[in-house]
Amino acid sequence: MKRVIPITLLSILLGMAFKSQAQQNLTAKQIQEKSLESTRVAGTESIATMTIINEKGQKRVRQMATLTKLYDQGDTEKKLIRFMSPSEVKGTGFLTYDYNTKDDDKWIYMPALRKTRRIISSENAKSFMGSEFSYADMTLPNLEDYNYKLLGETTVMNEPCYELEIVPVNSDIEDENGFSKKISYISKKNFVKRKSIYFDLYGEKEKVMLVKSIVEVDKDNHKFRIKHIEIENIQNGRKSISTIDQIQFNPAIPDDYFTSRYLEN
Amino acid sequence: MMIRLVLLLILCGITISTFSQSLFESSFSSAGSTDEKKFELFGYVKSSAFSDFEESKFIAAETALKLETKKGKYGNAFIEARYQKFLSHIEDQDKSDELYLREAYCNLTFHDFDFRIGQQIIVWGRADGFNPTNNITPFDMTVFSSDEDDRRRENFVFQTIYNFYPFKVELDWVPIYRASKLPIDNIQMNNIAWGANDFPSLETDNSSYGIKLDLEKPAIDASVSFFNGYYKMPSIEWNHQPGNTEVYLNAFRTSIIGADFSTVTGKYGLRGEFAYSIPDDKTHNQQFIPSKQLEYTLGFDREWGNFSLIAQYIGKYIIDFSDDTPTPSNVFQATLAHYNQLLFAQTDEITHSVSLRPAANLLHETLSIEMLSLANCTTEEFYFKPLVEYQVSDNIALNVGAQLYYGPDATMFGLLEKQINAGFAEVKINF
């Protein structure tokens, strides 16, 4: 028994050392890949509130329900977002098939049109429902669309983080996503992104996104969702906050939820 | 009768709600929350003014009250009642107010089957705004509203949808005929009076039905459809008896085979819609039955940040087209035939039209500007609808715009130009 304890401790220390060494050897791209993986959850149901605050401090609040599920061994995430309030946007829904390696497929349902409409997926730079979040922020980026550079390590909200510079590989990707460069701060502990600074197409600092809290929704596989995120546009003084009010881990969501049937009903 | 229907639907909705859903399913409830509210009441109040430089065409206040029961495992119910108070209405000057049920239906869900039964609006077709396959729900061109949806005329439909992804089959049975409306009552038909409409009575033989097979794949959405029933646009008939000649609207049966698709290639969305119509000339001994026709719409859409454009080519080919020239002996019948040709847009063997819808979403999606336009290059008819919508707050919207039709005198848009051309302003408050 006396021998077992030191051996166990040694094993743990060695394991930690190897893990630490392995993490130290991660390339910027590998860190980003792990970051994307950390929020790739098998399936979730959630209710979220998005607050849009203009430069005068006036607020507009939107509540939405979201469903996500992974397909194709995690290469595809299907996502259904439906707005619950206010009445102006109530019933509006988005269905997205978010692919790792190709352009997404997207549909919108607007109650006034009374039909589901396929929309172009390349215009990711657009504002999402009038907020400072873009459509690009609502889906996971394609890893190969960017070049990565590890700038160093720092602390964000008491969390040790990698500091990455992320630059679109070409001007088309720049235009599609609306930024020329992004500095991301990724937690060394769980690889969840904690902060991003966006630079506009002219290279000027435009937005700062801060992840204030996260929730581990899949404890077995250590998968996370962002619980409270704020994005501030320092050029126009506007700010948007998204908080998850309720979330459930549910990898068994029926497939037909990700069809026009559920988008419309 | 209306009150009974409303009570029946409320009872139906409450009964079929079970409140045993998952987090997301609960959120799908129109009640808008996961709490135990059994229904939600919402709606809007709208004030509208339509006017040209000479006279006011339409001034009204409108309120809509919508009630939706919480969505349960087996379905729910929805009712929308509207009340309009008119200060001015050029299309119906005797009318001072109107109360009607816009929609009232029950949704039922059993496994892969969805049923919607009641007064409702059904929209078919993937093209933008000009949909030759959209034949279940008629339209009303005498409605003054900035919202294109308000021109759809609700009717009673039994709808069944069987879902088997990536397909779904939709069957719509329409027991009661409801006609589209055009502002043609003022047309002077050689000074002959208009008589009462002669529309099909409520009999099984007079019902209409439509069936549609939809395909939903990640790369493409498409459908094929078939409609058989009374065509939404009635024709103008005449009745001649000694000392009494009158014209009236009469419906005729038709079969329409349709197809549509939408897909995305690169930065472009592509959509198309096709319909082949075979009118049943045996329905009545009518003065004018439209010829068989082929309609085809092909278009693309593109976005540049906050700007978007939808452009479409809209074509029509009249099979067995005949251009009857009026003769002195049958000038009245020729006039009647001409107006019917206008109603069915069959004045030319082949027509070519282009529609454009440029739009901009500005000021963080609080200001939207768009200009829907249609140009019929064959008949030289044009339609423009500029629209500016400003969202003052989440529940208050201001709309200004215009509906402008232009065309030679002997065309449909030429008639509409005199009747309904107007600029408009609206205030709408949602609650």
Q: In chain A, which residues have their Cβ closer than 8 Å to the Cβ of B393?
A: 60
CA distance A84 to chain B (A): 5
Using the Cβ of A248 and the Cβ atoms of chain B, whether some distance falls under 8 Å is answered with yes
What is the arithmetic mean of pLDDT over B30-41?
A: 65
Distance CA A238, CA B37 (A): 35
Q: Which of A166, A168, A167, A177 lies closest to A125, judged by CA? A: A177
Angle at B302 between CA B301 and CA B306, to 5 degrees: 125
Q: Does B395 touch chain A (CB under 8 A)?
A: yes
Are B218 and A105 a contacting pair at CB < 8 A?
yes
pLDDT grade, residue B19 (50/70/90)?
very low
What is the predicted pLDDT for the residue at A18? 52
CA distance A230 to chain B (A): 17
The predicted model gives B346-371 an average pLDDT of 95
* Contact (CB<8Å) A67/B262: no
Return d(Cα A154, Cα A103) in angstroms, integer: 33
- The per-residue pLDDT for A138 is 86
- DSSP 8-state secondary structure symbol assigned to residue B290: P
Of A229, A191, A247, which Cα lies nearest the Cα of A38? A191
Residue B205's contacts (CB-CB under 8 Å, 6 or more residues apart) are none
Q: pLDDT value at position B31?
A: 39
- Inter-chain contact A97–B218, Cβ cutoff 8 Å? yes
Q: Determine contact: A105 vs chain B, CB below 8 A.
A: yes
Residue A155: predicted pLDDT? 95
Contact criterion met (CB < 8 Å) for B123 and A121: no
Q: What is the DSSP letter of A136?
A: G
Look at phi and psi of residue B129 and say left if phi exceeds 0, alpha if psi is from -120 to 50, else beta: left
Tokens of A12: 């743990």
**Torsion, Cα of B226, B264, B363, B394 (10° steps):** 40
**Gap from A116 CA to chain B (nearest CA, Å):** 9
Q: Note the pLDDT tens digit of each residue in B213-247.
A: 999 999 999 999 999 999 999 988 888 777 788 88
Locate the chain A residue with the closest alpha carbon to B75. A265
Residues in B touching A232 (Cβ below 8 Å): none
A90/B30 touch (CB, cutoff 8 Å), yes or no: yes
Asked if residues A213 and A228 have their Cβ atoms less than 8 Å apart, the reply is: yes
Helix (H, G, I), strand (E, B) or coil at B394: coil
DSSP string, B117-144: EEEE-----SSSS--TT--SS-BBTT--
Å from B134 to nearest chain A CA?
Answer: 12
* B361 to A116, A165, B388: CA distances (angstroms): 20, 31, 10
Burial class (CB in 10 A: 0-12, 13-18, 19+), A245: exposed
Convert the pLDDT of each residue in B378-422 to its tens digit: 999 999 999 999 999 889 999 999 999 999 988 999 989 988 999
Among chain A residues, CA nearest to B127? A117
Contact of B245 with chain A, judged by CB distance below 8 Å, is answered with no
pTM of the model: 0.87
Tokens coding B137: 């729900």
> Chain A: nearest CA to B235, how far in angstroms?
28
B46-80 pLDDT, tens digit per residue, is: 999 999 988 888 999 999 999 999 888 899 999 99
Minimum distance, in Å, between the CA of residue B291 and any CA atom of chain A: 30
* Cβ-proximal residues to B109 (8 Å cutoff; 6+ apart), any chain: B73, B74, B75, B115
Residue B30: pLDDT above 60? no
Report chain A residues whose CB lies below 8 A from the CB of B65. Answer: none
Tell me the two tokens of residue B83.
């009340």
Q: Phi/psi zone of residue B41: left (φ > 0), alpha (ψ -120 to 50 degrees), beta?
A: beta
Per-residue tens of pLDDT for chain A, all 265 residues: 555 566 666 655 555 555 555 556 899 999 999 999 999 999 999 999 999 999 999 999 999 999 999 999 889 999 999 999 898 888 999 999 999 888 899 999 999 899 999 998 777 888 898 899 998 888 888 899 999 999 999 999 999 999 999 999 999 999 889 999 999 999 999 999 999 999 999 999 999 999 999 999 999 999 999 999 999 999 999 999 999 999 999 999 999 899 999 999 8
One-letter amino acid at B294 equals L
**How much is the ipTM here?**
0.86
Q: Which residues contact B175 (CB under 8 A, 6 or more apart)?
A: B156, B158, B202, B204, B207
Return the domain boundaries, chain A: 29-264
Q: Residue B104 corresponds to which tokens in the numbers above?
A: 């009232």
A65:B24 CB<8 A: yes
| A65 → closest Cβ in B27, B216, B366 | B27
**Which residues of B fall within a CB distance of 8 Å from A83?**
none
Distance from CA of A202 to the nearest CA of B (A): 16
Distance of CA B314 to CAs A120, B126, B407, Å?
22, 13, 17
* Best CA proximity match to B31, nearest among A110, A257, A109, A84: A84
Burial of B409 (0-12, 13-18, 19+ CB in 10 A): exposed
pLDDT digits (tens, 9 = 90+) for B253-299: 999 999 999 999 988 999 999 999 999 876 554 557 788 999 999 99
Report cis status (omega within 30 of 0) of the bond before B166: yes
> Which domains, ranges and CATH numbers included, belong to chain B?
121-430 (2.40.160)
What average pLDDT score do residues B345-360 get? 95
Q: Kindly give the pairing relationship between strand B193-194 and strand B155-164.
A: unpaired
Question: How high is the pLDDT of residue B246?
Answer: 87
Q: Is B204 helix (H, G, I), strand (E, B) or coil?
A: helix
Q: Count the helices and strands in chain A (H runs, E runs).
A: 4, 13
Confidence band of B17 (pLDDT split at 50, 70, 90): very low
Residue B340 banded pLDDT, cuts 50, 70, 90? confident
Give the number of beta-carbon pairs within 8 Å between A and B: 124
pLDDT of residue A2: 54
* Nearest CB partner across the interface for B216, out of A248, A260, A265: A260
Instruction: Indicate the fold that domain A29-264 takes in CATH.
Output: outer membrane lipoprotein receptor (LolB), chain A (2.50.20)
A124 touches chain B (CB under 8 A): no
Nearest to B27 among A47, A61, A123 (CB): A47
How do residues B120-146 score in pLDDT, each as one tens digit? 999 999 999 999 999 999 999 999 999
